[in-house]
Amino acid sequence: MDEFLLYQHHHAEVIERAKKIIVALFKKQKSKRKVFSSFYPDFQKRIKGLNIKYYDEYRNKYSNALNVFDSNLNKYEGNELEKIQLVFKYNIFPLFKNYSEKELRDFIKSLGRRDALRYLYMHLDYYYNYYKLVYETISFQYIYLRDFDNLHFEDSDQYREMIRIKNPDKKNIDIPLSDILNENTDTSRGNKLSKEFENEFVEKLKSFDDEERFILMRLIYNNFIVQKKRSINFIDFIRICKIIGGYEDLRIFIDEKPLGNNSAYQKISKSLKNIPSNSRVETFKSLLNKIDFIKSSQINSILKVEKNKKS
């Protein structure tokens, strides 16, 4: 087994074990008629604790190699697996040239487990509503512990099928796009909605300052464009664009990379790094509170992860 297959093997092994544990947990709690929220958050905390514990032990043992791997992962083109192979080839293998093969394989085995635990924690948080529906409809066959490729889980056949099981009398479970965008052909209804909600939503949009918009822009760019580990549904994308598009600096249209620390380009580029460590938690708590009205599980998940990061 070559090194990359070794990485994949131990990554998949952790995910497979976790799947069996979750299926058993769901069945046990269902037999007790427990509601989902009574046990799932505690399970998430256990995974988070295991993730932190393993990461700390792993970091102490392989500090230099881990830093090399993490710092180089996004310097290569390709999907996630292709990037990992390239980091192994050009960064990790040269680093271990004076070490034994056993030490190299031990590092890669541990790396696969670490990445699996980290992925598992983020996935369980991001897919909270998906697994809630799995539990409520006893659709345990839909426990995959993997993200749908280029598809938000709410758009998956599995999710739609579970919605139909939960609401058998509801013929059409989808909200028309025209309703959400206020483009209903019934103009009287459209005007009524606009009058009722326009002022409320204008005030909510105004509540974001430029620094908050810049943080959101950077997070959207990092998670959905650079890393491509997540997907965002179209409605949430439209809503977040409306929020982040309100800043006033127009120099980006004049110069590709406007200079000066006060330009929007520079502020967006450094927005995450510039958050003071002593106010990081409060910053993201405030953003979570302000952005709650768009009801985006994807955005909320990203903000929660950032809030809990160590500076």
pTM of the predicted model, to two decimals?
0.57
For the chain, give every domain's residue range. Answer: 3-126, 207-307
User: For residues 231 and 213, which has the higher predicted lDDT (pLDDT)?
Assistant: 213
At 172-203, the pLDDT tens digits run 444 443 344 444 444 444 444 444 556 677 77
Range scoring the smallest mean pLDDT among 28-32, 152-156, 183-187, 222-226: 183-187
Contact criterion met (CB below 8 Å) for 147 and 230: yes
Can you tell me the mean pLDDT for 71-91? Answer: 90
Looking up tokens 């650079």 gives 226
Helices (H), 62-154: 63-72, 80-87, 93-95, 101-126, 128-136
Looking up tokens 């995959």 gives 144
pLDDT at position 33, please?
A: 95
Say which DSSP state 311 is in.
-
Contact criterion met (CB below 8 Å) for 117 and 48: no
User: Would you state the structure tokens that stand for residue 109, as one six-digit string?
Assistant: 């085995």
